[in-house]
Chain A
Amino acid sequence: MVTNQASMKRNGIQDWVSLRATALIIALYSFYIAFVFFTAPTLTYPIWQGIFASMFMKVFTFAALVSIMLHVRIGLWQVLTDYVKPAGLRAGIQYVLNLIAFAYVAVGLFVLWGV
């Protein structure tokens, strides 16, 4: 198996499967949120908080955020390898972007914790 600096113990098949597995969760979450917006009565603070108070919604939201982090890790790597050629610069950009993706998950966790 070819080892390159980008693999980090991942490989193409794993990326391929991860990208689709996470895409499915994110898409289902998007449809569910769209459904909630279409069917909810006029949104007020209690209703809005009630939506995210259920354990189902907390788990679904957290799963979607983790999926986004994994999806973005692969997707942004695919884009960056095509357009940013210097390895050091690309590594730096990926480091920052993946940190932002982690921050999304962390913020999500603490927000869900408090609802």
Chain B
Amino acid sequence: MKKQRPVNLDLNTIKFPPSAISSILHRVTGVAMFFALLFVIWAWAVSLGSEQGFNDVQAIMDGFIGKFVALGTVSALTYHILGGIRHGIMDMGYWEELESGNLSANIIIGIWIVLTLILGVALW
């Protein structure tokens, strides 16, 4: 192997474009929700099973862990829906150019952060 190959490890010069970040977030939130459903469906099933179960789940949801999981799950769902809407608009032929694609990615990431903050404040 040649030793003198060009390398670019100056991390300040390497950056994902917003559209790439949006794509990765869509995947991460999707996979995260799949596993979050383990908790969501368990909590749903127990809370509907009996009054005792309902009270147990309510106690968990009032605690830090419950709120943290709820915030994470709803936040992931929020991003996934926003990303899905963006995909739907791209299916119709809009936001497919470099500039509009990156702009729409930045906008949904912005909306997502704002909605997550509002949700966090509402939960606590």
Contacts and interface: CB of A to CB of B under 8 A. Distances in A.
Whether A associates with B in a native complex is yes
Interface of A: 20, 23, 27, 30, 43, 45, 48-49, 52, 68, 72, 75-76, 79, 97, 100-101, 104, 107-108, 111, 114-115
Contacts of B109: none
Nearest to A34: B74
Interface string B34-71: 10011001001101110100110010000000000000
B81 interface: yes
A20 B30 contact: no
A20 B91 contact: yes
Contacts of A115: 48
A49 B48 contact: yes
A79 B45 CA distance: 29
Contacts of B91: 20
A111 B48 contact: yes
B88 A20 contact: yes
A111 B48 CA distance: 7
Interface string B12-52: 00000000000000010011001001100100110111010
B41 A104 contact: yes
B84 interface: yes
Contacts of A52: 48
A79 B31 contact: yes
Given A27-B81, A49-B48, A107 B54 contact: no
Contact of A48 (B41, B54, B77): B54
A45 B51 CA distance: 6
B86 to A, nearest CB: 12
A76 B48 contact: no
Contacts of A48: 47-48, 54
B59 to A, nearest CB: 13
A72 B41 contact: no
A114 B55 CA distance: 18
Given A20-B88, A107-B45, A76 B34 contact: yes
